[in-house]
Structure 1
Amino acid sequence: MIKRNLKHTFSLLNVDYVKLNAKWNYRNVISPYYRIYYIDSGEGELSDAAGSLKLEPGYLYIIPSFTLCSLSCTDYLGQFFVQFFEDSVDGSSLFADNRVILKAKATEMDIALFNRLLQINPGRGINRSDNPKVYEKDIYYKEYQELNNQQNISTYLETQAILTMLTAKFLNPQLFKHPEQKNIPVKIAETLNYILVNLHQDLSVNRLASRANQNVDYFSRLFKQHTGARPLNYINEKRVERAQYLMATSRMSYSEICAQTGFINLSYFSKTFKKLTGTSPSEYKKQMYQVCFNH
């Protein structure tokens, strides 16, 4: 029998049912956590680089972490939502190669799962001001972490199971379009795993090529051929993603985040962060407040 270990787990952030109006209108949002919506009335719209999707009753939608998107409602929208973080043993993501908004027809089981998630996790909605000066992020995320820690083992496992089942809905082969797969050389595959678990270390191209026992130029060409990105660009993308995650889930200062993600100084961190996300770290933090607190 083949043993298959589950590498990915989820940490609940918020779950609630809300009635939204035209104030729910946010552009160019990018967050370090997942969102899944179930719409039961009204209409709205989600859009990403691939296009737009109408939010309509009877459907589920997922916005994977680090997916640049826009959210809007022109009049009225009844929405169940859950927001949660993804954790994995090697820092990888289920949607790493498919960060797009997906839509699926909801079943009675899906609706029951949302209702059960609400039932076993009361008081996990968003009821705060959208002004970051009113609510400190440290307090907010410390609160959600403490609530998760207070869950008994039964609630924790059931919450984990429901989040897994809802996420699995969007990994169905008919819905989840995997990019064309190529056989990745073992040395490149091993390098990708090494990068994810050692973002805080020296990850120069010379060092990575040496680890793979390859010439630097040959290694770089092979890396780009199988990932679509040059080694340094790939590393910076993963470092910024990890920085976004730490900004949302910890009380680390920017200096501490730099150390944890391998950026040599705050200036390079800020420059790279803005280049890849379109906003500065402080602007990103403010945007994250506004979307979280208004939902």
Structure 2
Amino acid sequence: MLEIFQSLRLTLLNTGYAKLNALWDFDNVISPFTRMYYITKGSAKVYHSNKVFDLKPNHIYLVPSYTYARYTCEDYHEQYYISFLEDISNGLSIYGIKDFEYEIEADQNCLYYFQRLVELNNNRKIKNSNPKTYDNRPTLQDFIKQNDTLNAKELLETQGILTTLLSKFITNHKINKDHVTPNKAIYLIQNYINENLHAPITIDELANKCHYSTDYFSRLFYKTHGIRPNKYIQSKRIERAQLLLLTTTSSLKEIAQKVGFENLAYFSRTFKKHTKKTPAAFRKEQVTI
């Protein structure tokens, strides 16, 4: 198991310093890379993993890859930012084998690491903070190629800083074998589900993507997650709906459609089955807390 962890590879995409205002307001962001922030001034919010994170100065934040997120800033804030790809043996993700915090108070070295990374890679700034302008496969390939412009010293130092910063978010020192996804195909299917909750998803479709029979795929998925694929998809749709109810002003019908329910009544019944509350009651309760 340690050999898997030792194969961790981090690939820098972007880094820079940004001064942001209320235009920093983006919903339905699901990126194939990890984001990291060091806040220096002001305040903002990031919603992901069913939590709300109030971005505060002298704190660093982690948003894992393939995680639905929403970003908002009511007034103004300044941040150092980093985005990078991560993978381990067999193309899996470190987030499948370790537990992470997503917000930590920065120690005395963190600011230096962010500043040094920008200094080493001063041509890696994001020109437009809207994820739609850079969060796509062709543009990511252009970012990856920029690593070829680094010399050996710069590349090793860049990778060392990324590894050091990522390690600060890990909450346990032992690899959690219960969280290991034993099959790359199942891990990729998890990402596919996260990216496509707004659309119909069938088990036959998922099995075909893995080149497995439907029965074998279902058994392997159950062995990995302890839940049948259909129930897993449904639970992820409800999790996403809860976050949308909390972080947007979208109507119930709009939210239902965003998480793959064309029928509002069926969405409401399913939501109540999972949460013991109707969507409207859940939203009202959260707003008044």
* TM-score between both structures, scaled by the size of structure 2: 0.62
Tell me the alpha carbon deviations over residues 85-107 of structure 1, each in whole angstroms, 9 at most, x when there is no partner.
11323121111377987100101
Name the CA distance, whole Å, in 2 between partners of 1:55 and 1:156: 30
1:227-242 pair list within 5 angstroms: 227-230=225-228
Task: Name the CA shift for 1:206/1:129 in 2 (closer, same or farther; >3 Å).
Answer: closer
Cα contact 1:35–1:82 (8 A) shared by 2: yes
Give 5+ residue unaligned stretches, structure 1.
Answer: 209-218, 236-274, 280-295
Matching residue of 1:173: 172
Residue type matched to 1:169 in 2?
Answer: K
User: What secondary structure is seen at the aligned counterpart in 1 of 2:61?
Assistant: strand
Secondary structure in structure 1 of the residue aligned to 2:94: coil
| Structure 2 gap ranges (5+) | 190-207, 234-255, 261-289
SS for the counterpart of 2:167 is helix
Aligned residues with identical type, % of pairs: 29
What is the distance in 1 between the residues matched to 2:54 and 2:122? Answer: 29
Q: How far apart in 2 are the matches of 1:13 and 1:127?
A: 13
Residue of structure 2 equivalent to 1:140: 139
Instruction: Report the equivalent of 2:114.
Output: 114
The residue number in structure 1 matching 2:123 is 123
User: Structure 1 231/25 Cα, relative in aligned 2: closer, same or farther at 3 Å?
Assistant: closer
Q: Which amino acid aligns with 2:115?
A: N
Task: Specify the code of the residue in structure 2 equivalent to 1:81.
Answer: Y
Change (3 A) 1:46 1:131: closer
2:155 aligns to what?
156
Q: CA deviation at 1:77?
A: 0.4
Residue 224 of structure 1 deviates from its aligned partner by 2.1
Q: 1:131 to 1:225 in 2, by over 3 A?
A: closer
Secondary structure at the residue paired with 2:104? strand
The answer to whether the 8 Å contact 2:45/2:73 transfers is: yes
- Equivalence map 1:79-94=2 (5 Å): 79-94=79-94
Q: CA offset at residue 203 of structure 1?
A: 1.7
Match of 2:31 in 1: 31
- One-letter identity of the residue aligned with 1:45: K
Contact 1:31 1:65 in 2 (8 A): yes
- CA distance in 1 between counterparts of 2:150 and 2:259 reads 37
2:37 & 2:131 partners in 1: Cα distance?
A: 24
Name the SS for the 1:95 alignment partner. helix
187, 202, 206: which one aligns with 2:211? 202
Q: Is the 8 A contact 2:38 2:80 kept in 1?
A: yes
Question: What do residues 137-171 of structure 1 show as CA deviations (whole Å, max 9, x unaligned)?
Answer: 57633431221112111111111111111111111
Aligned Cα root-mean-square deviation (Å): 4.0
User: In 2, are the aligned partners of 1:66 and 1:99 still within 8 Å (CA)?
Assistant: no
Which amino acid letter does the alignment assign opposite residue 148 of structure 1?
Answer: N
How far apart are 1:4 and its partner, in Å? 7.6
